[in-house]
């Protein structure tokens, strides 16, 4: 006679125990590390396991570190909670629970998560600091619980549910995790472990701040809501597959990118307790890989070529279109064939090869149309030979906005400037010349008038809007003028005497191309080429081994050898400089010497708070900064900030963007 999980005397609620952790507040690391909803998620899981699950409240060890503003819902009937500190959690996990007379252990964790270089998941505790990032090493914990360190007759079934990101810990270089191994006895074959992660390695787990919940936990608790713990044990693989299917639908609609994954250690399908309670699941067929003919032809195509533009976009798009989790790290090192080798090893999904999607994107975006056509032919021929599915058409490259380029050149008379304006749309056209030197106040008024006239004339010439609108104003100025608030200069608009700040109407950037001299000219051009390949990405602190496109300088110091560090590698291409005014001048000198084409800072120095505030204003630490969108992102910040006084402690205003494109250098004299 077949027995169900609920019939079994040793899989009963009274012999089930749980460790439940929810960490929202990491005050000693950074105020930016808030994770609203994690504590409530832990409570919701506890309500299930002590409610429909049937587990006695005294069998649950609950650890919560909510934010001060978090109001936890009704906790009647739930166990009292303790702060989610490393010492408390380890005491419960390695001393209290192993001493209990139980058959089934649940571990639930909601909080931040990072993957180390071995692939282990590091879960920071509430008392983590940058100098000592106290945490739980999940993989080491699970090995300990599978071993003879725990009485072999107890806790033969174990479940871990983790609602946390699995991003590379090197993305937060200021953290110090150290190496932890809790030790273990000999592994025993008597135990079964089921581990369900909210995301794959490299992925971020979505937190729904408006719902005060993690997306994974909300879906998980909904799936388990009517099950007892015995029923849940039998149906966990099915529940996990339902979750995966639900997240597949959410990814299709763009609501999330994470993919819940599960692992069964020791199978749990050979247990004599049930009739195949956790059955083996069929592995997906492998993705097609390249054959030798493809490698031979690709080697010919890659000869004597560096990395093309948009290679980073192509790499990320390949994972997206194949339905795979993109690695959180930067591009693999090397040239085109090395990147294709990396993708071929990762393979993709059944019928969908990462390699073909990657090369298809490069083909569509190549400035060399002949080479692009050859790449497209390679994709078609290779796909047919290896039996892969057709690759969807990649997105079209964005249309470059038309722009006005305003040049202010020092005149012979002190504190006066010659002003020239060019219109750019597929080439430079001289639009206006001051003819005589102007003091800065007069230049400001005249430039506002001329910009308004040029935009009006452009609209009248193209009433149907077939050509790109003038969306950007680029100021080419001597280095001492970068602190002039060009984005605040008035531009006449609408009714008579009406005007708006230029930064509200246009993307406004500053440039200092005359500072790009001697060796710096070559590095400037190479850095811009690296920017075109990457288009953006993650940030890091200054390091000799730069791996990410953006550097974030500390707010109270800069390295003495900053210029040299910036020139060691092709990366970084952008510097975020939340610096005090006393340091800003030295930093700008260093980035010009090093050829850095993109720099962002705030006039008047950084506001109160950490240097990371500037970076987190632009993007999360998991997704990084899309550099191509910086000009438009800053315009949005300026409009949202409205009339914010510069003294206000806010990153929204007045931010300055240096945007020096070596491909858009003005002619030496006005064109006639």
Q: Where residue 506 sits, what CATH number does that domain have?
A: 3.30.420
Q: What's the Cα-to-Cα distance from 244 to each of 176, 226, 340, 486, rounded to whole Å?
A: 33, 19, 28, 51
Give yes or no: residues 257 and 327 share one domain. no
* Mean of per-residue pLDDT scores for the chain: 82
Instruction: Identify the pLDDT of residue 623.
Output: 58
Q: Which of 233-247, 327-341, 505-519 tops mean pLDDT?
A: 505-519
Q: Do 434 and 499 lie in a common domain?
A: yes
The verdict on 197 and 61 lying in the same domain is: yes
Q: Is 666 inside a domain boundary?
A: no
CB 176 within 8 A of CB 142: no
Counting the structural domains of the chain, the total is: 4
Most distant pair of Cα atoms in the chain: their distance: 102
- Report whether 166 contacts 243 (CB < 8 A): no
What pLDDT digit, counting tens, does each position of 124-158 carry?
A: 999 988 888 889 999 889 989 988 888 888 898 89
Give the residue from 454, 479, 511 where a domain finishes: 511
Q: Write down the pLDDT at residue 497.
A: 75
The pLDDT-based confidence of 263 (bands split at 50, 70, 90) is low
Rounded to an integer, the average pLDDT of 349-374 is 90
Tell whether 316 and 373 lie within a shared domain: yes
Domain-located, residue 335: yes
**pLDDT(267) > 50:** no
Confidence of residue 88 (pLDDT cuts 50, 70, 90): very high
Q: Where are the alpha helices (DSSP H) in 110-228?
A: 138-146, 215-224
pTM: 0.58
Reference 279, options 318, 329, 234; nearest CA is 234
C-alpha 371/C-alpha 306 separation (Å) is 13
Whether the pLDDT of residue 492 is over 90: the answer is: yes
Task: Give the integer Cα–Cα distance in Å for 244 and 261.
Answer: 7
- Same-domain status, 344 and 240: no
CB 610 within 8 A of CB 31: yes
Q: Are strands 655-659 and 598-602 parallel, antiparallel or unpaired?
A: antiparallel
Mean pLDDT of 467-493: 92
Assign 649 a pLDDT band (cuts: 50, 70, 90): low
Note whether 602 and 543 are same-domain residues. yes
Domain shared by 481 and 565, yes or no: no
Are residues 591 and 524 part of one domain? yes
Say if strands 348-349 and 352-353 run parallel, antiparallel, or are unpaired: antiparallel
Could you tell me the sign of the dihedral formed by the alpha carbons of 285, 286, 289, 291, in that order?
Answer: negative
Residues 349, 287: Cα–Cα separation, whole Å = 5
Which helix or strand (DSSP H or E) is residue 471 part of?
strand 470-476
How many Cβ atoms are within 10 Å of 663's Cβ, its own excluded? 8
pLDDT at position 277 over 50: no
453 and 534 fall within a common domain: no
Give the CA distances from residue 15 to residues 59, 155, 157, 661, in Å, rounded to whole numbers and listed in that order: 8, 9, 11, 67
Q: What is the mean pLDDT of residues 647-662?
A: 78
**CB–CB of 599/509 below 8 Å?**
no
Is the per-residue pLDDT at 311 higher than 50?
A: yes
**pLDDT tens column, 430-457:** 999 999 999 999 999 999 999 999 999 9
Average confidence (pLDDT) over 403-408: 96
pLDDT 10s digits, 541-565: 888 877 788 888 876 778 888 999 9
State whether 606 and 628 are in the same domain.
Answer: yes
Long-range contacts of 168-172 (CB under 8 A, 24+ apart): 168/114, 168/115, 168/202, 168/327, 168/328, 168/329, 169/114, 169/115, 169/116, 169/122, 170/329, 170/547, 171/114, 171/328, 171/538, 171/540, 171/621, 171/622, 172/114, 172/621
Within-domain flag for 282: no
The answer on 567 and 642 residing in a single domain is yes
Residue 471, CA atoms < 13 Å, CB-side half-sphere? 16
Nearest in space to 343 (alpha carbons), one of 316, 307, 373, 379: 316
Cα distances from 610 to residues 30, 151, 579, 614, 651, in angstroms, run 8, 48, 11, 8, 11
Tokens (6 digits) for 12: 């009963």
pLDDT score at 621? 46
Query: Is 208 in the same domain as 172?
Result: yes
Share of the chain above pLDDT 90, in %: 37
Establish if 664 belongs to a structural domain.
Answer: no
Determine, yes or no, domain membership for 283. no
* Domain membership flag for residue 634: yes
Domain span at residue 456 reads 402-511
In a domain, 394, yes or no: no
* Residue among 399, 596, 401 nearest 508 (CA): 401
- Cβ atoms of 167 and 204 within 8 Å: the answer is yes
Q: Which two tokens stand for residue 347?
A: 């393979």
At residue 37, does pLDDT exceed 90? no
CB atoms closer than 10 angstroms to residue 317:
20
In a domain, 558, yes or no: yes
Model confidence at 258, in pLDDT bands (50, 70, 90)? low
Q: Given a cut of 90, is residue 271 above it in pLDDT?
A: no
Contact of 264 with 278, CB cutoff 8 Å: yes
Is residue 246 within a helix (H) or strand (E), and if so which, with residue range? helix 229-252
Q: Report how far residue 239's alpha carbon sits from residue 227's, in angstroms, rounded to the nearest whole number.
A: 11
Final residue of a structural domain among 458, 490, 511: 511
For residue 157, count other CB atoms closer than 10 A to its CB: 24
What's the mean pLDDT in 596-601? 93
């Amino acid at each position: 006679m077949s027995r169900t999980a609920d019939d079994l005397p040793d899989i009963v609620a009274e012999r089930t125990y749980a460790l439940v952790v929810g960490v929202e507040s990491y005050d000693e690391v950074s105020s930016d590390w808030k994770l609203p909803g994690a504590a409530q998620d832990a409570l919701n899981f506890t309500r299930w396991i002590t409610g429909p699950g049937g587990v006695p409240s005294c069998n649950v060890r609950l650890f919560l570190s909510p934010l001060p503003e978090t109001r936890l819902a009704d906790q009647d009937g739930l166990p009292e909670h303790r702060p989610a500190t490393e010492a408390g959690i380890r005491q419960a996990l390695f001393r209290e629970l192993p001493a209990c007379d139980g058959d089934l252990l649940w571990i639930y964790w909601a909080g931040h998560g990072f993957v180390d270089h071995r692939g282990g998941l590091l879960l920071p505790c509430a008392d983590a600091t940058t100098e000592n990032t106290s945490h739980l090493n999940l993989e080491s914990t699970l090995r300990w619980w599978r071993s003879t360190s725990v009485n072999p007759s107890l806790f033969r079934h174990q479940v871990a549910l983790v609602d946390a990101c699995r991003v590379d810990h090197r993305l937060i270089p200021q953290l110090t995790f150290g190496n932890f191994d809790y030790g273990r006895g000999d592994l025993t074959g008597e135990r079964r472990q089921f581990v369900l992660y909210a995301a794959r390695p490299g992925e971020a787990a979505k937190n729904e701040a408006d719902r005060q919940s993690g997306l994974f936990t909300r879906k998980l608790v909904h799936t388990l809501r009517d099950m007892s713990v015995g029923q849940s044990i039998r149906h966990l693989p099915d529940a996990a597959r339902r979750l995966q299917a639900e997240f597949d639908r959410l990814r299709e609609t763009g609501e999330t990118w994470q993919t819940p994954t599960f692992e069964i250690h020791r199978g749990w399908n050979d247990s004599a307790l049930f009739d195949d309670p956790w059955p083996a699941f069929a592995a997906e067929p492998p993705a097609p890989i390249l054959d030798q003919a493809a490698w031979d032809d690709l080697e010919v195509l890659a000869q004597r070529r560096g990395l093309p533009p948009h290679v980073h976009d192509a790499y990320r798009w390949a994972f997206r279109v194949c339905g795979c989790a993109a690695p959180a790290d930067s591009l693999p090192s090397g040239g085109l064939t090395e990147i294709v080798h990396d993708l071929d090893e990762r393979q993709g999904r059944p019928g969908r090869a990462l390699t073909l999607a990657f090369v298809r994107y490069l083909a569509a975006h190549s400035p060399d149309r002949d080479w692009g056509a050859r790449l497209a032919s390679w994709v078609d021929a290779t796909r047919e030979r290896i039996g892969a599915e057709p690759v969807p058409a990649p997105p079209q490259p964005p249309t470059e906005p038309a722009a006005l380029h305003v040049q202010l050149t020092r005149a012979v008379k002190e504190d006066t400037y010659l002003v020239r304006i060019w219109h750019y749309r597929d080439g430079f056209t001289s639009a206006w010349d001051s003819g005589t030197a102007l003091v800065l106040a007069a230049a400001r008024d005249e430039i506002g008038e001329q910009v308004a006239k040029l935009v009006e004339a452009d609209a009248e010439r193209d009433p149907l809007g077939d050509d790109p609108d003038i969306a950007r104003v680029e100021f080419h100025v001597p280095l001492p003028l970068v602190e002039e608030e060009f984005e605040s200069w008035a531009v006449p608009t609408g009714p008579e005497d009406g005007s708006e700040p230029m930064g509200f109407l246009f993307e406004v950037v500053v440039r200092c191309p005359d500072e790009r001299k001697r060796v710096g000219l070559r590095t400037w051009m190479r850095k811009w080429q690296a920017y075109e390949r990457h288009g953006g990405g993650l940030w890091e602190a200054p390091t000799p081994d730069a791996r990410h496109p953006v550097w974030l300088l500390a707010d109270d110091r800069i390295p003495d050898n900053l210029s040299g560090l910036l020139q060691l590698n092709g990366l970084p291409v952008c510097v975020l400089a939340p610096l005090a005014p006393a340091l800003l001048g030295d930093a700008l000198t260093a980035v010009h010497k090093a050829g850095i084409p993109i720099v962002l800072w705030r006039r008047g120095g950084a506001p109160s708070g950490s240097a990371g505030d500037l970076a987190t204003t632009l993007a999360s630490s998991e997704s990084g900064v899309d550099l191509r969108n910086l000009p438009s992102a800053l315009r949005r910040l300026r409009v949202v900030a409205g009339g914010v006084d510069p003294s206000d402690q806010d990153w929204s205003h007045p931010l300055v963007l240096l945007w020096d494109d070596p491909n858009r250098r003005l002619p030496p004299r006005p064109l006639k």
